Structure 1
Amino acid sequence: MRLNAQPEPRLTVTRNPEAGAQSASSAFIEANTVSIPFTEIQQDHIIPVYVKDNEPLISQSDFIQTTQELVNTIFRGEQVLSPAIRCSHPIKGRTPEAKDKPANQLQDWEKTLYYERMMFVIEIPTVHDTIDGNPLTLTVGGVKAYNLDNLYNKKGAAEHFKVFIGFKNMVCTNLCVRTDGYLADLRVSSVDQLYSAIYQLLSSYDQHLHLRQMQSLTEHSISEQQFAQLLGRCRMYPHLPTDDKKQIPALLYGDSQLTSVCRDYYKDVNFCRQEDGRINLWKLYNLFTGANKSTYIDQFLDRSINALDFASQVQGALQGNSTSWYLN
């Protein structure tokens, strides 16, 4: 679906983001996150403020609601599930009246809480496809990480958001995101600006091109020896001299994620090697997106994009269209 990218006026929608079935029945990101219901974020979490004027930042609940409004508007007629939300890095506090109490004696009403980092996904299960036997559903989501904002400022300063549209692999909840479906550093100072930017992203995304790119990965495979060389080069990459690194496409995966890729090459139920050791690039890509679930929220989407770029670079080398240091 490609839609007219002209921004529409913002609509007032009273839909409850938690109504109906919820997206992502299992964790789409693990790391150190916890699942949080929308009502808790909306009603119980405090909102950080700018230090200089005590004005609030755009709340996480406003971000989720704004995205939900747009998804329901743009994909009118499709089934849209309620958001699944995961948070990390809790910032705890207490009311002034309880400042001298021991922590184990605090009452619930005396505690304050918000999470520094939050990610949510909204599934649209009626927009779907299948690749290599894996059902995929269209998914929209975003990240709000207050650690990226300068709180020592005044209201009106740009706030940072990450927004994406892509597909979720239903057999493993891996998120598949492409560059044209990702705003990596969206900076806005109002909810209306946020609405307009998300609208532009959703309406310009080409889902068919994304699906074709992922489908083409099934047509190429590497041997066990090539996989071993590729993984070894991946481990070497962070330690290369700076000048050498500049000549090589960046790899954002660290040693712990690469260890997961290696383990799952042998053990993953859905994406392990064939009996002769070969593995197609779609499965290799999913080994990387699966390992990405252990990434912290604020780095998750960048690594997701990097996984598809990496698989496509390997594909180009196998086709003879380019060379790859990782396979040389």
Structure 2
Amino acid sequence: MENAIFRVQPEPQVPMYINNQETAQPAVSSAFIEANTTAVAFSEIQEKHIIPVYVKDNEPLISQADFITSTADAVSELFRGEQILQPQIRVSHPIKGRTPDARHKPASQLQEWEKTLYYERMMFVIEVPTIMDTIDGNLLTLTIGGVKAYNLDNLYNKKGAAEHFKLFVGFKNLVCTNMCVRTDGYLEDFRVNTIEQLRAGIYRLLDSYDQHRHLQQMQKLTEHSISEQQFAQLLGRCRMYPHLSTADRKQIPTLLYGDSQLTTVCRDYYKDVNFCKQEDGRLNLWKLYNLFTGANKSTYIDQFLDRSVNAIDFATQLQGALEGRSASWYLN
């Protein structure tokens, strides 16, 4: 299955360094997540953001900069010879403070050196554009990244308490920058005590991920379509799902998308430039999947990857129903 991925012959090796010794070309695609996030440079995180500490002993947690660096090192080593872009980083939920000598100043009079800042939640992606494939005319490139959300950690503890990380490897659809992630490319709650354990987890994930199987799974979605009537029923059932009893929901494949995301899916069924319905109202499952991953961009960082994985599971379950291999409550 080596031919499942098309590799562009790379320029002379372009390793990815983020310590300013050498710089790869910047990524040019638009935001992979929107919500309430802000784009930041690696240098800003490394040089300007303070690092949270454990309250009981003042020892630092693993920093977001160290997380990004560890991932970048693993990508550079395992994908040697490929072109690797600089990390794209987005942050949310700023935690602001000030230095002690500025404690009595009005906020409007604070100087820059008197302010402190870190962001509670951070997500980054590192793109490998020379590892790619095309599905339904959409170019996909291999993408690796992670999430660090300090709100998941117990900061009222001592150093040595497990810290929470999310790791993923998948593909980015360059047409829309939608993230395509499946179960074997995702560690949803990876807990470590040291940066060495974090690095080991990154290597294990990249080693175990089956990119060929992932691409085949997405390619098969192009082979099946639903009618406008089926889409209407599907969307209605999706809105009904959260209101079912707990017992009933246990019998139905989980759907993590809320009402606001489903409204976006409905709107884009008619209006999305790349993934809207055909003239007869039909929509293939690849396009439906991208309507969901597109709507996922409005999700907060700490829930983004869970919904990304849920989208491919949901589309694949619908595919099984259309092939007659299983029943789907959403289409019945």
* 1:24–1:173 Cα contact (<8 Å) kept: no
Instruction: Name which of 3, 16, 19 aligns with 2:18.
Output: 16
1:111 aligns with 2:115: yes
Separation in structure 2 between the aligned mates of residue 176 and residue 170 of structure 1, nearest angstrom: 11
In structure 2, the CA distance between the partners of 1:190 and 1:24, relative to structure 1 (3 Å rule), is farther
Superposition RMSD on alpha carbons, in Å?
A: 1.3
Instruction: Name which of 283, 288, 306 aligns with 2:287.
Output: 283
* 2:29–2:174 Cα contact (<8 Å) kept: no
Unpaired stretches in structure 2, ≥5 consecutive residues: 3-14
Deviation at 1:25, TM superposition (A): 2.6
Residue 9 of structure 1 corresponds to none
Separation in structure 2 between the aligned mates of residue 15 and residue 241 of structure 1, nearest angstrom: 51
TM-score by length of 2: 0.94
Residue 70 of structure 1 corresponds to 74
1:180 aligns with 2:187: no
Separation in structure 2 between the aligned mates of residue 194 and residue 180 of structure 1, nearest angstrom: 17
Separation in structure 1 between the aligned mates of residue 26 and residue 79 of structure 2, nearest angstrom: 17
1:222 aligns with 2:226: yes
Separation in structure 2 between the aligned mates of residue 21 and residue 181 of structure 1, nearest angstrom: 25
* 1:167–1:175 Cα contact (<8 Å) kept: yes
Residue 123 of structure 1 corresponds to 127
Residue 256 of structure 1 corresponds to 260
Per-residue CA deviation, residues 75-115 of structure 1 (Å, 9 max, x unaligned), is 00000101000000000000000001000000000000000
Per-residue CA deviation, residues 133-168 of structure 1 (Å, 9 max, x unaligned), is 000000000000000000011101100000000000
SS at 1:233 equivalent: helix
* 2:17–2:24 Cα contact (<8 Å) kept: no
* 1:121–1:142 Cα contact (<8 Å) kept: yes
1:97 aligns with 2:101: yes
Unpaired stretches in structure 1, ≥5 consecutive residues: 3-12
Residue identity matched to 1:322: S
TM-score by length of 1: 0.95
Number of positions where the alignment pairs a residue of Structure 1 with one of Structure 2: 318
* 1:137–1:170 Cα contact (<8 Å) kept: yes
Identity of aligned residues (%): 76
Per-residue CA deviation, residues 152-209 of structure 1 (Å, 9 max, x unaligned), is 1110110000000000000000000010000000000111000000100001101000
Residue 304 of structure 2 corresponds to 300
Separation in structure 2 between the aligned mates of residue 23 and residue 307 of structure 1, nearest angstrom: 25
Deviation at 1:261, TM superposition (A): 0.1
Separation in structure 1 between the aligned mates of residue 218 and residue 16 of structure 2, nearest angstrom: 36
Separation in structure 1 between the aligned mates of residue 207 and residue 79 of structure 2, nearest angstrom: 10
Alignment of 1:260-275 (within 5 A): 260-275=264-279
